[in-house]
Structure 1
Amino acid sequence: MEALKLLIVEDDPLFGEAVVDAIREAGYGVRLAVNGAEALEAATDESFDMVLQDIRLPDANGLHVLREILLLQPHCKALVITGHATVDSAIEAMKLGACDLLTKPFPLEFLLVKLEKALKIRAMEHELDGFRKTAAARVQIISRSPAMRNVMEMARAVANTDATVLIHGESGTGKELLADAIHRQSRRAGHACVKINCAAIPENLVESELFGVERGAFTGADRSRRGLLEMAAGGSLFLDEIGEMPLPVQGKLLRVLEEKVAFRVGGTSAYKADFRLIAATHRDLKAMIDQRIFREDLFFRLNVVPISIPPLRERREDIPLLVVHFLKQIAKEGGRRVTFAPETMHLLSNYDFPGNVRELRNIIEQFSILYPGEIIKPHHIPVSLKSDSQLGSIFERHTVGRPLKEAVSEFEHRYIEKVIRSTSGNRSRAAEVLGLSRKVLWEKLKRKSDD
């Protein structure tokens, strides 16, 4: 097990070295910074379990420096030391999250007792956080389908190993949620699960985001910066949309996975790459290999444990469960409490949901905001969510036996919805197609929503 590491921020060189020696003898790793600038540089470069912070520094207010360190490393514990303790400084230190304030001079044995106590609290907090996250992961994945049960069984089986996992599934199926569940049930749960969407970062920035940057590596690199690989130390790294990673970066990632060390951009010193990799994609990586846009050797390195999440249309029995779950969640977040008529639930259960669970969540939220009343009825469902056969059946059930005026109104509303759908929601264009002014179209839509 790697030794816990402490950052000592102390401008008195004799006292600082005495503290460093005592902490090293106790078996901890330690780094000494003699001013605020060195302290912030250290906090940017490395991860620490604890910081021992002097209040008075030659170039900065020690409490201001401590605030910046804890913003960079929020899970780091802090002890504050000073030769001139005041009530105000003690209160401010505690507000920042410091465990204790020690007044110089004090016996080094006393300091070690304080350190041990603070680090035990930190370990318990990490363990409790891991339990909380594991419980959250278990309740967030809502399913009763056999296909998803198989997925969760595979996730549980692989969670407590360090095996690389490749999750495949369409957009919106919950790939990131599954990655979270794997991490939170692993022995790395006490550390971060660092995430990056390879499709969301410009190609020229992917490498520096992943590996970090040394000062002066390129124009604009005015300071050294840790990459996501370093931030994931001890935890997990989730690479979403791995198929979008540029080829040159694929080669460098492969080397990291094989050698377990990495280099910052512009750097010559290696750092240990201690993380568990979980990757995800909606693309066919084998087809991309044939097209020479994805490395075959990296694919085999990633595809140690492949898990495929089925789309929502292949597990329709989950739709009612998810609807109820999202309705409760939205109500808890301050939204309206609504329910779905059985006929409406049947319509949703037969829709293909190309956007999968994400699309279902968005639709439920939309219903809870836009439609009046406590029960969502079939005529509230947009045309885009119904098949032609469903539309015919619904129209017949909801128009036959009604006065002509009401039937015509129903037909008009459905035709308007269809035209709006065909214009990708552009109401100005829809009004042109319908031969209406925007004001008249708006009034018709509002009148129907008030029904």
Structure 2
Amino acid sequence: MSRIKILVVDDEPLLGEPLKRALESSGYQVRLAQSGADALQALTEDSFDLLLEDLGLPDADGLDIMGEVLGKTPYCRALVMTGNGTIEKAVKAMKMGAFDFLTKPFTMETLFQKLQSVMEFRQVEKEIDSRDEAAGLSCECITRSPVMKDILQTAAMVAATDATVLLLGESGTGKDLLAEIIHAKSRRSKHPCIKVNCAAIPETLFESELFGVERGAYTGADKSRCGYLEAADKGTLFLDEIAELPLFLQGKFLRALGEKAIHRVGGSMEYDVDFRLVAATNRDLKVLAGTRAFREDLFFRINVVPITIPPLRERREDIPLLIAYFQKRFQEKNPRPKPHFTPETLETLCNYGFPGNVRELQNIVEHISILYPGEIIKPRHLSVSMQNPDLAARLFESFAVGKPLKEAVADFENKYIEKVLHSVGGHKTRSASILGLSRKVLWERLKRIRAV
């Protein structure tokens, strides 16, 4: 493997030369430029993985040099060095694309910590781009987790068969994505993958939606139409939230699975259906079967190859990778300056429990991309619950049981507002932003709280 190449740009020999020696002794390949002209010359002769630049150059604007380097080397990332009096310039550099900055004087330990962070994030971005180029699939899974890689290997093996797959795990873990991957890698990939959210269909419409309906079957059925099972013929039927499949329909669905044939509502004609079933749920079907809330024979019929997807908190190594991925996807749809997550912010997010899993992380990245384009994202930009993950638990434990639900919710909200206000030193505008309220609404809520 080739060594990481670093371009150090600093006009002070007493700093530049020691930096070069320290980096080389740690295994980096280093070129030292002592002016803007030297840096531009180096750029014509080689490409670099990292730019370590002093913004205060004698012959050029350090921001212009950084722009040249980053513009010509897509995967190069920048760390800028600055004195105490030029912090504003360092902030501007980060808005232009620098990963982080170092304030002089700094220790070598600090430098190497930041180097590690920037190189890890650079590798994340390269991985995402290489996946995009190599895969050509919208359903490519973004992961570094050994557990997830084992799951993908299992999915690839089962995709080559027609076996029924049951995807298990919390909401937001990516069960729908794994269903897409199984379909895309199967012999049925050229045929439809029909996705059905069982929780979103009214019980009165479920039978006709699933099995189709013949003309005249009931008032308003003015024409015949096929259901989801027929639509999935020769392809894949993905039943999400299968635990919500009405009990009265489970027997009919079980027969359709076994016989590969159906009757539409109000009809006697038999229609052949050849589909592969992938089902998903965040509930324990075995427990539901034990309480007769789900048919036991249907459970055994669909529990052929169960795959449990772990929650995001059990694969934290994926969080930086997913952040970079969601940022890139958001930028493709909404071209605007990309926010920059500091290493401290990434660490805060990696320590957060993510009850909403990958879906929650995606929403966080989109929220930040909309509200803070081009800004440096620090932990204070995140919600209080992310900065203090035990806060909600502590608040909940402080409540007495026995109040009506409406009163308990109001009590929780009041205490939470006070906690947020205290956490930001009484700053009402910042508190309103965290709470998602206007300053006027927050002011009115505080008047009511303090009048009690």
Give the TM-score band, short-chain normalised.
0.5 to 0.7
Q: Does 1:432 align with 2:432?
A: no
Partner letter of residue 244 of structure 1? E
For the 8 Å contact 1:134–1:185, the answer to whether it is kept is no
- 1:266-285 residue pairs with structure 2 within 5 A? 266-285=266-285
In the alignment, what sits opposite 2:150?
A: 150
Q: Kindly report which structure 2 residues correspond to 1:92-111, keeping only aligned pairs within 5 A, or say none.
A: none
2:426 alignment counterpart = 412
SS at match of 1:248: helix
% of aligned pairs identical?
A: 57
C-alpha distance in structure 1 between counterparts of 2:217 and 2:374, whole Å = 60
Structure 2 Cα separation of the partners of residues 286 and 428 of structure 1: 50
1:374 aligned partner, one-letter code: E
Q: Quick one: distance in 2 between partners of 1:302 and 1:134?
A: 33
> Residues 420 and 427 of structure 1 are in contact (CA less than 8 Å); yes or no, is this contact kept in structure 2?
no
Distance change in 2, residues 1:427/1:211 (3 Å): farther
Aligned ranges 1:209-224 → 2 under 5 Å: 209-224=209-224
Contact in 1 for aligned 2:432/2:438 (Cα 8 Å): no
SS in structure 2 opposite 1:199?
A: helix
Matched, 1:185 2:185: yes
Q: Equivalent residue of 1:237, what SS?
A: strand
Please report how far the alpha carbon of residue 435 of structure 1 lies from its aligned counterpart in structure 2 after TM superposition. 2.5
d(CA) in 1 for partners of 2:286, 2:264 = 30
- Give the letter for the 1:146 counterpart: P
- Asked if structure 2 preserves the Cα contact closer than 8 Å seen for 1:173 and 1:357, the reply is yes
SS at 2:206's partner residue? Answer: helix
Deviation at 1:137, TM superposition (A): 4.3
Equivalent position of 2:253 in the other structure: 253
Q: Deviations over 1:164-210 (max 9, x none)?
A: 00001111111110000000000000100011100001001111011
Q: Give the corresponding residue for 1:290.
A: 290
Judged with a 3 Å threshold, the aligned counterparts in structure 2 of structure 1 residues 427 and 309 are, in CA distance, closer, same or farther, namely farther
Instruction: Give the superposition deviation at 1:370.
Output: 0.8
Q: C-alpha distance in 2, partners of 1:324/1:332?
A: 12
For residues 137 and 314 of structure 1, do their structure 2 counterparts lie closer, same or farther at Cα, with a shift above 3 Å needed? farther
Q: Which residue of 2 aligns with 1:363?
A: 364
Residue 430 of structure 1 and its aligned partner are, at CA, apart by: 4.0
Extract unaligned runs of 5+ from structure 2: 1-131, 393-420
Contact 2:174 2:358 in 1 (8 A): yes
Q: Per the alignment, do residues 359 and 426 of structure 1 end up closer, same or farther by CA in structure 2, a change over 3 Å counting?
A: farther
Distance 1:215 1:390, change over 3 A: closer
- Note the C-alpha offset of 1:372: 5.2
Determine the C-alpha separation between the residues in 2 that align with 1:429 and 1:242: 41
SS in 2 for 1:162: coil
Once residues 341 and 238 of structure 2 are traced to their aligned partners in structure 1, the CA distance between those partners, rounded to angstroms, is: 36
Whole-angstrom distance in 2 between the partners of 1:154 and 1:137 = 18
Q: Give yes or no for the alignment of 1:378 onto 2:390.
A: no
1:350 maps to 2:364: no
Cα pair distance change 1:156/1:414, threshold 3 Å: farther
Please list the CA deviations of residues 283-341 of structure 1 after superposition, one character each: whole Å capped at 9, or x if unmatched: 11111112211000000000000000000011111001101111111111124312200
Q: Which residue of 1 aligns with 2:409?
A: none
**Cα gap change, 1:414 to 1:279, in 2 (>3 Å):** farther
Q: Distance in 2 between matches of 1:389 and 1:141?
A: 31
Q: Tell whether the 8 Å contact from 1:420 to 1:426 is kept in structure 2 after alignment.
A: no
Separation in 2 of the partners of 1:238 and 1:199? 13
User: Hey, what's the Cα distance between the residues in 1 that align with 2:317 and 2:357?
Assistant: 13
Distance 2:195 2:187 in 1: 18
How much does 1:360 deviate? Answer: 0.4
Secondary structure of 2:195's partner?
A: strand
Distance in 2, matches of 1:133 and 1:371, equals 29
Which deviations, in whole Å up to 9, do the C-alpha atoms of 1:92-150 show, x marking residues without a partner? Answer: xxxxxxxxxxxxxxxxxxxxxxxxxxxxxxxxxxxxxxxx9993447631111111111
The structure-2 alpha-carbon separation of the partners of 1:137 and 1:306, relative to structure 1 and needing over 3 Å to count, comes to farther
Cα distance in structure 2, aligned partners of 1:155 and 1:272: 27
* 3-state SS of paired residue (1:411): coil
**2:167 matched to 1:140?**
no
Secondary structure of 1:140's counterpart equals coil
Gaps of 5+ in 1: 1-131, 392-406, 438-451
1:164 corresponds in structure 2 to 164
Q: Distance in 1 between matches of 2:274 and 2:423?
A: 64
CA distance in 1, matches of 2:365, 2:180: 24
Q: Which residue is 2:82 aligned to?
A: none
1:194–1:244 Cα change, 3 Å: same
Task: Describe the SS at the equivalent of 2:161.
Answer: coil
Return the TM-score normalized by structure 2.
0.59
Distance 1:266 1:142 in 2: 45
Q: What residue in structure 1 maps to residue 299 of structure 2? A: 299
Distance 1:262 1:322, change over 3 A: same
Deviations 1:9-56 (CA, angstroms, capped at 9, x unpaired): xxxxxxxxxxxxxxxxxxxxxxxxxxxxxxxxxxxxxxxxxxxxxxxx
Q: Secondary structure of the equivalent of 1:195?
A: strand
* CA distance, structure 2, for counterparts of residue 426 and residue 168 of structure 1: 40
**Does residue 234 of structure 2 align to residue 234 of structure 1?**
yes
Contact 2:383 2:434 in 1 (8 A): no
Q: Give distance in 2, aligned partners of 1:204 and 1:169.
A: 28
* One-letter code aligned to 1:351: Y
CA RMSD in angstroms, aligned pairs only: 3.0
Counterpart contact for 1:138–1:181, Cα < 8 Å? no
